[in-house]
Every structure is written in C-alpha cells, then in structure tokens.
Chains A and B, each alone.
Chain A
Amino acid sequence: GAVVSQHPSRVICKSGTSVKIECRSLDFQATTMFWYRQFPKQSLMLMATSNEGSKATYEQGVEKDKFLINHASLTLSTLTVTSAHPEDSSFYICSAREGGAGGKTGELFFGEGSRLTVL
C-alpha cells in the first residue's frame, strides 16, 4: 500500500514556542490530506482538511490561528502548532487519500503519528 510519513515522531518543546509537523505521501500524490488529533485513550478527532494550493478547511472548534496548515505540494502538508501550551500536548496524526482528486480507492493511509509534549 501507499506510504505516508510523518516527522518528527516525537517532539518536546517549551511553552510559547511553535512546532512544525510534516506529513509526506512518499509514493503517491495527494490533493487532500487530513489532520487528526488523538487524546490518550480516545478516538481520532478530525482537526482540518488540507487542500493542496488552497486554504485548509477547519472543523468547528479548531483554532485556525493556533494550528496553521500549509499544503504547498501534492506530497507535503505541514501542521504548525503556534505558541504551544501544555494543553496542546497530544498525538497528532495525518492521513492522505491515494489517487488524487476523486480518490480511486477511497482508502486513507495514515502517518505514524507525532507525539507533542509541551512543557
């Protein structure tokens, strides 16, 4: 299957700093990527839909100025947590749908996740 890679897998930062997480589709192009957040022992909460070449679409209750998403190419989307605080500590997972527009299989491939800890 297709591969989605996230980097870094773990990051620890001080409160008030910004952290960038990368999501790459390694062997396919993805016009759309999705960013999820997962709290301990909970399900995945969709944060935003990242669209190549245009603004991301955020879910209700997600601060777009806090969680900046950039999808500059068909293989890369980035999530920047700005002015991070301890409550932003979480497991962030990205996914991409193979096949570009129309998604021929509909299957989402997930990255390995990035665990953010804000001190």
Chain B
Amino acid sequence: AQSVTQPDIHITVSEGASLELRCNYSYGATPYLFWYVQSPGQGLQLLLKYFSGDTLVQGIKGFEAEFKRSQSSFNLRKPSVHWSDAAEYFCAVGARSSASKIIFGSGTRLSIRP
C-alpha cells in the first residue's frame, strides 16, 4: 500500500537560513510525488511535482525537491527562507490516473525565527 512519511512534525529555522523538509514514501510502482503548502485556515497550494525525467524539480517560491529512488525520498529544499514561508507543508504520493488517490503525509509545520 502506498504511504508517505514526514518525520519532522515541526521545524523552526531562522529567516535567511536554508531549509530541508524530509519526505519518504512507499509505493509499488514509480510514484508521482507532490509538495503542497497550506497557510492557516486555507486550502492547499501546489509547490512542485515530480512525474518523470530530471530528478531535481524546481517549484514556485524558490523551492526545489529531489527525487531519490534509492532512498525512497523526495525532500523539499529552499536555500534561504523568508518569514512568509511559515506554513504547513505536505508531501503527497499518487499515480497518474484521474481516478487514483493521492495520499498525504502528516505534514511538517515550519516556523521562521526573525
């Protein structure tokens, strides 16, 4: 069965510092992987996605993620965080079929230290 693990519940980094949010997945086939961000009381916004090809994926707001098949990981990175990046981040795994479910990780809450 497919599953997603985000081992870090809460991370605090200083503004301007680099960020890495961890995501590990379990999936029977080649996965399609996503990172979403959610601000308090809001819906979700897609940051980036990996379907195939280059394993380093660039997203919006300066985020990137790297798919590592050997480690079953899809970690999210940003070289320099801004106070506005404080939010909840969700990693998700799914398949291409329109009827296929997307399963979300438990989320990582990011706080920014001034």
Contacts and interface: CB of A to CB of B under 8 A. Distances in A.
A49 B99 contact: yes
Contacts of B42: 112-113
Nearest to B91: A43
Give the interface size bracket for B toward A. 20 to 34
B41 interface: yes
Interface residues of A, number: 32
A115 to B, nearest CB: 7
Given A43-B106, A106-B32, A106-B49, A99 B43 contact: no
Contacts, number: 67
B44 A46 contact: no
A107 interface: yes
A100 B101 CA distance: 15
17 contacts: A30-B98, A34-B101, A43-B105, A43-B107, A44-B104, A46-B103, A93-B43, A95-B44, A106-B49, A107-B46, A107-B49, A108-B94, A110-B43, A110-B44, A111-B43, A112-B43, A113-B42
